[in-house]
Homo-oligomer: A and B are copies of this chain.
Amino acid sequence: MSLSEAATVHSTAPASHPVRIATIGAGRIGSNHAEIVARLIPGASLVAVSDPVGESAQRLATALGAPIATATVDDVLTSDEVDAVLITAPARSHTDLVVAAAAAGKHVFVEKPMAVTLADADRAIAAAADAGIVLQVGFNRRFAPGFAAARAAIDAQKVGTPQLLRSLTRDPGPYTADPARVPQWTIFLETLIHDFDTLCFLNPGARPVRVHAVADALVRPDAKSSGHLDTAVVTVQFDNGAIATAEASFSALYGYDVRAEVFGSGGMITAGSGLSTDMTYYGPDGLHADTARRDTDLLHSAYVGELTAFVDAIRTHTPAVVTGHDARTALSIALAAVRSVETGSAVDLDR
């Protein structure tokens, strides 16, 4: 007798109940997440793809072997085959989708921003709490190895009390989006929202209290009159005294650039390098190294990490590691930054 029978009993147990996941949105990030779920997350399976463009849904489902493709979100939310959803639809639809999914009893992974108003953030948080579902927000940087190691070092008291922080996001250029189709304040609500969360993540236990922001249209000066801002610097003060800077640009010619720095009474930590491999080339013009061009390359392991954490939280009935409250905090900074640009003054955050 081989050992296989006994083994079978045990080994099929966890595998027989994978978390069945549907993705809502089959765009660039939706496809990235769907592929990760389908291929790289133990204990998860991709069972459905939804996108208003039915063809996109079908193409992605086919490619990844997901049995269901649909143009209708309801098909996903009412399906008994779906345990959890990944919301990667346009940002302004996120809250409604979170609330609907929670009402349907589906666990939710929602791309940032979870909401663009505090009322909506509260609505999403309440819906998740009422439904008792796992609600995780897509602040991917927390799962990037360098950023996670930074936080571990901070927790280990390597930097002492944080005093000066910096987080930046520069999207790869050249910038090709149509400014007319970019919602106003996107740089704060969708781009810098990552940095606002990163600053909180790397200053654990501290609360943001005051925000000053400067923004301009330096990449597309022609679009400034229509309110399109593509370059910004935000100063955030925390209640432990730390002063932080968040910085963003929509167009970095050298690729996707995501970095952080934390300086404190005990030392300094940096995270993020932007390099794509550890290969270096020395040629007639000097040293050269390749840079990462896309977030899905630079942050691949972060994406895998956050989706693994989401599935683990569902399987182990533990709270999400990035919560709706984290999203609300980052949003409160973003909204204060918007107000700061509008008024030209620093803005105090409510308690």
Contacts and interface: CB of A to CB of B under 8 A. Distances in A.
Interface of A: 2-4, 6-8, 10-12, 14-15, 38-40, 42, 48-49, 54, 57-58, 61-72, 75, 145-150, 153, 158-159, 161, 163-164, 166, 170, 210, 212, 214, 216, 218-219, 221, 231-233, 235, 237, 241-243, 245, 247, 249, 251-255, 257, 263, 265-291, 344-346
A149 B212 contact: no
Contact of A164 (B247, B254, B275, B284): B247
B267 A64 contact: no
A285 B253 CA distance: 9
Contact of A233 (B65, B235, B257): B235
A72 B2 CA distance: 8
Nearest to A66: B11
Given A233-B243, A275-B287, A345-B345, 16 more contacts: A4-B68, A4-B69, A11-B63, A40-B40, A145-B277, A146-B279, A216-B243, A252-B263, A254-B268, A254-B282, A254-B287, A255-B282, A269-B281, A271-B279, A287-B289, A344-B345
A153 B11 CA distance: 44
B263 A170 contact: yes
How many copies of the shown chain assemble into the complex?
4
A293 B289 CA distance: 19
A270 B280 contact: yes
Q: Residue among A42, A146, A216, A282 with the most chain B CB within 10 A?
A: A282
B149 A277 contact: yes
Given A6-B58, A15-B65, A63-B11, A279 B283 contact: no
Given A62-B11, A163-B218, A288 B286 contact: yes
Closest 10 CB pairs of A and B: A15-B65, A7-B69, A4-B68, A273-B278, A267-B283, A254-B282, A149-B279, A146-B278, A10-B62, A11-B62
B282 A2 contact: no
B214 A231 contact: no
Contact of A279 (B57, B150, B266): B150
Nearest to A348: B344
Contact of A3 (B54, B233, B275, B276): B54
Contacts of A214: 210, 212, 235, 237, 243
6 contacts: A3-B71, A145-B276, A214-B243, A251-B265, A275-B287, A288-B288
Contacts of A10: 62
A68 B5 CA distance: 7
Contacts of A69: 2-4, 6-7, 11
